[in-house]
Amino acid sequence: MGDHAIVIGGSLAGLCAARVLSDFYDRVTIYERDALPDQPDNRTAVPQGRHVHLLMARGAAEFEGLFPGLLDDMVSAGVPKLANRPDCIHFGAAGHVLGTNTTLKREFTAYVPSRPHLEWQIRQRALAIPNVDLVHASVVELRYLPDEQRVTGVLLDAGDPSSAVAADLVVDATGRGTRLPAWLEQWGFGRPAEDTVDVGIDYATHRVRIPADAIVEKVVVAGASREHPVGLGMLLYEDGLWSATSFGTGKVAPPQSFSEICDVADALLPPHLSEALRAGEPLGDMAFHKYPASRWRRYDQMDRFPTGVIPFGDAVVSFNPTYGQGMTMTSIQASNLRSVLQSGTTDVAGELSRATKKTTWPVWTMNAIGDVTMHNATAYDAPWWYLVVGNLFEQLLGAAETDADLAEWFLRRFSLLDSLYMVPNATTLGRTVRHNMGLLLSEKYGRAKTYVRTKRANSSAHDRDRVPSR
């Protein structure tokens, strides 16, 4: 399709983009300004990497498609693999705990790598591709030809034409700090509109050593709710250590010490889990991170866009990290990119932005509904039906506490399997209503029986009191 493609940014999104591009371009060069570790380790440029990350089941499958053998190698390196093991997952959402059976009706396999380990595994594979190279250098700006309205490469040193590197396609995978909107405005295209949700997330994480036989669970999630705006996630990673991340929503401060994280666990988790955490050995210092807003740059709504450049990954959309869907959505963007390049279209940017819209909209919308209706977030001009859908969804979560089929439906949809849409169909909705009505009638019947028993008991006691003594 072309001679040379450049990827700006060597993080997870950039590596996935490079993997796809390597099948369509003779050469792919990744430009990364920071030194990359030779082993799985946290990077200063990825501060969120020290906090809990979930790899959804859909994401595991997508990454395996890009990098065959990845999942087996992760398991060999100690990454927990949960194959049809709902007993290893404690999942709470908005104050409701899923009531899955000990076995699931459909195949469900989860992998639990840390963010640094997953990125390291993918980096080894991407850089082993013969036509992919990594260059440690900063890209200061893009080369743009106004007459052709085309990006033709990058500039590594401002004001020095000799530092220019030509490319047929440039991929901006620089993350949330992308400068592409500013460059587009400078070139006369204007900035993309932005959808934002002010989530006000504040993280606090501590690494903890918990004895291997203390608990069977490997994934523990207790999401925040309106009544309890601080949530908690605990994951067992490949090094045998747990990461315990507590987070405040709606600008609520998170715990400031390991003891305070344990207090959150006491409030949200079953005793065997909170007691295991409190008995654990905290390691190192706490890590903190803020995530003020989810942001979707709507490139799909732009009337004009230059050729030769595409935004990718968090440079397009960054999701509320407490849902754990970011890495998986990046893998889906990579699948979109492959499909667009295979089509042979000359409008790569336009087709990719439209494909990304189709896969982003359902996930973004359900996250926004959850944030606004359950997590005290604010979204500009949120539609009226957010509240309706939010209330409906809470009814489903309530039913999923005691209906194993609904719990499995939620687990699969939350993991982005089967469909990216979380809204239940008519059959699932009907099951939810019937289940909740049954519980309501059972509760009312129980109260009525208690009332009758009490009234009869009181009446009998009154009759005995009226019998004259002899």
- The pLDDT tens digits for 340-394 are 999 999 999 999 999 999 999 999 999 999 999 999 899 988 899 999 888 888 8
364 inside domain: yes
**Contact residues for 19 (Cβ-Cβ < 8 A; gap 6+):** 66, 67, 125, 126, 129, 132, 334
As a whole-number percent, the residues of the chain with pLDDT over 90 amount to 71
Rounded to an integer, the average pLDDT of 417-431 is 80
309 inside domain: yes
For residue 48, give the nearest of 252, 233, 221, 290 by alpha carbon: 290
- The answer to which of 118-127, 169-178, 202-211, 376-385 has the lowest mean pLDDT is 376-385
Coil, helix or strand for 99?
coil
- The answer to which of 57-71, 395-409, 444-458 has the lowest mean pLDDT is 444-458
| 144: containing domain | 2-47+57-71+115-193+297-373
The distance of Cα 260 from the centroid of its chain, to the nearest Å, equals 25
Instruction: Using pLDDT thresholds of 50, 70 and 90, give the confidence band for residue 295.
Output: very high
More confident residue, 415 or 468: 415
CA torsion sign, 203 to 16 to 349 to 158? positive
Reply yes or no on whether the pLDDT at 436 is more than 90. no
221 inside domain: no
Instruction: Using pLDDT thresholds of 50, 70 and 90, give the confidence band for residue 445.
Output: very low
Residue 443: the pLDDT is 57
Report the predicted TM-score, pTM, of the whole model to 2 decimal places.
0.89
Q: How many beta carbons lie within 10 A of that of residue 430, not counting itself?
A: 11
More confident residue, 379 or 432: 379
- In degrees and rounded to multiples of 5, residue 387 shows phi and psi of -65, -40
DSSP state of 317: E
287 inside domain: no
The domain spanning residue 17 has which CATH number?
3.50.50.60
Instruction: Using pLDDT thresholds of 50, 70 and 90, give the confidence band for residue 423.
Output: confident
Average pLDDT of every residue of the chain: 90
Tally the domains of the chain.
Answer: 1
Residue keyed to tokens 């570790």: 37
Coil, helix or strand for 85?
coil
3-state secondary structure string, 211-276?
CCCCCCCCEEEECCCCCCCEEEEEEECCCCCEEEEEEECCCCCCCCCHHHHHHHHHHHCCHHHHHH
Instruction: Using pLDDT thresholds of 50, 70 and 90, give the confidence band for residue 440.
Output: low
395 inside domain: no
123 inside domain: yes
Q: What is the pLDDT of residues 211-263, one digit of tens each?
A: 988 999 999 999 999 889 999 999 999 999 999 999 999 999 999 999 999 99
Reply yes or no on whether the pLDDT at 287 is more than 70. yes
378 inside domain: no
d(CA 305, CA 151): 10
440 inside domain: no
